[in-house]
């Protein structure tokens, strides 16, 4: 029997509900890397967007890499290159973290009798074989659950799948703050490994979080690669949800945006007006809107009118005028600006220029 147009539409909607937007991870294929390589990274975002490297021991270079599992449809991976071996303190830690907003997690029904299980899958290539720990941490309720997995062959891509039971305690607040974290551990000191691995949801106890974790940072020849990270509702890992680059970039730009990079005189999407001989206000429109009013960082910028540019010696956010949809920046120059004249933010004749707006979790 032939499908009617209405039946076909309903079938399409059902398939989309089941297969689309099921991955709670943003940039799991490591496609977007606005910041680029970060040398001696620690407790910061670097390399592929939305993945934060957390460490308090050793030194590492974090980057986006082209080493990927063959035949899986990936072009990029997250890479950590060990450049200094950790000293081995009891409170040491090294891990990769992905934080998720509470508004994107309501489907989990966490904190109710109908709470959903979660399945985490990813590809890993590491120089060190042994037991590794993948943790889900609930920031809102200080609860966590950990699972172990094994890297069996050194320097070989391996696919891992872990399922976590639903949590009937600790509802997730429906807001734009960090709720759940997915933490892939690479090294941990005795403060995090001296207890019994917490494989069921419970109040967080550090000693039970990373028990059994091998030291994947024990040699400066070591590299760790990750790609294809997917977190989805249910007990089964489905094929990785590949998203087109533009869609993934827009999701990442909710948390971080870089302007004025990569070319001499590259502009920011802004309009500005001189307010004195040393200051100009610039409005930067943000679409898509950011998670929160962002912080600002910059280097090697200038503000130009048709008569020539002035190097910016200071750039600050005008909080009283800014929002998640547009920010106002006060550009300070040593001299040479003109009141009421129009200006634009530009890279100051160097490819090292940048304007960073961050609303990261």
DSSP string, 329-361: EEEE-SS---TT-EEEEEE-SSTT-EEEEE---
Where do the structural domains in the chain lie, given as residue ranges? Answer: 21-253, 256-358
Report whether pLDDT(330) > 90.
yes
- Does residue 89 surpass a pLDDT of 70? yes
Instruction: Grade residue 263 by pLDDT with cuts at 50, 70 and 90.
Output: confident
Please compute the mean of the pLDDT values over residues 30-44 and round it to a whole number: 96
Residue 301's pLDDT band (cuts 50, 70, 90): very high
Which strands, in side-by-side order, build the sheet including 256-259? 256-259, 354-358, 295-299
Instruction: Tell me how many degrees the CA angle 258-261-263 measures, rounded to the nearest 5.
Output: 155
User: Does domain 21-253 sit in CATH 2.60.120.260?
Assistant: yes
Task: Give the span between the Cα atoms of 235 and 250, in whole angstroms.
Answer: 29
Q: How much is the average pLDDT of 64-82?
A: 98
Q: What is the pLDDT of residue 309?
A: 86
Residue 166's CB is within 10 A of a number of other CB atoms, namely 18
Confidence class of residue 10 from pLDDT cuts 50, 70 and 90? very low
What is the β-pairing status of strands 279-285 and 270-274?
A: antiparallel
**Residue 18: predicted pLDDT:** 55
pLDDT in tens, 236-261: 999 999 999 999 999 999 999 999 98
What pLDDT score was predicted for residue 16? 40
- Assign domain 256-358 to its CATH architecture: Sandwich (2.60)
pLDDT above 90 covers a percentage of the chain that reads: 88
Supply the pLDDT for residue 6: 42
- Confidence at residue 163, expressed as pLDDT on a 0 to 100 scale: 98
- Mean pLDDT of the chain, nearest integer: 93
pTM: 0.93
pLDDT of 278 higher than 50: yes
């Amino acid at each position: 029997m032939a499908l009617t147009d209405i039946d076909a539409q309903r079938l399409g909607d059902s398939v989309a509900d089941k297969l689309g937007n099921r991955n709670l991870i943003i940039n799991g294929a490591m496609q977007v890397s606005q910041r680029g390589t970060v040398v001696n990274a620690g407790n910061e975002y670097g390399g592929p967007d939305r993945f934060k490297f957390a460490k308090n021991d050793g030194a590492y270079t974090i980057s986006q890499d082209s080493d990927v599992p063959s035949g899986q449809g990936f072009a990029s991976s997250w890479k950590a290159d060990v450049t200094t071996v950790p000293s081995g303190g009891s409170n040491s830690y090294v891990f990769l973290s992905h934080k998720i907003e509470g508004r994107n997690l309501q489907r989990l029904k966490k904190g109710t009798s109908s709470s959903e299980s979660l399945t985490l899958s990813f590809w890993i290539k590491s120089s060190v074989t042994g037991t590794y720990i993948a943790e889900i941490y609930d920031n809102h309720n200080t609860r966590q659950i950990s699972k172990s997995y094994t890297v069996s062959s050194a320097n070989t891509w391996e696919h891992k799948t872990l399922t976590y039971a639903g949590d009937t305690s600790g509802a997730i607040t429906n807001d734009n703050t960090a709720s759940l974290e997915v933490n892939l551990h690479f090294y941990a000191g005795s403060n995090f490994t001296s207890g019994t691995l917490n494989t069921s949801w419970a109040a967080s106890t550090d000693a039970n979080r990373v028990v059994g974790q091998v030291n994947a940072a024990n040699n400066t020849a070591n590299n760790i690669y990750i790609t294809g990270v997917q977190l989805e509702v249910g007990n089964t890992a489905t094929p990785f949800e590949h998203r087109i680059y533009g869609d993934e970039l827009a999701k990442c730009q909710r948390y971080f945006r870089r302007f004025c990079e990569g070319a001499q005189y590259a502009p920011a999407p802004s309009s500005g007006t001189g307010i004195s001989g040393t200051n100009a206000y610039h409005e930067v429109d943000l679409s898509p809107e950011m998670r929160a009013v962002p912080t600002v960082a910059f280097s090697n910028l200038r503000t130009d009118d048709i008569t020539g540019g002035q190097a910016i010696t200071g750039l600050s956010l005008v909080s009283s005028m800014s929002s998640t949809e547009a920010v106002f920046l006060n550009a300070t120059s040593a001299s040479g600006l003109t009141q009421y004249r129009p200006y634009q933010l530009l890279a100051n004749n160097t490819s090292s220029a940048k304007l960073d707006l961050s609303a990261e979790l």
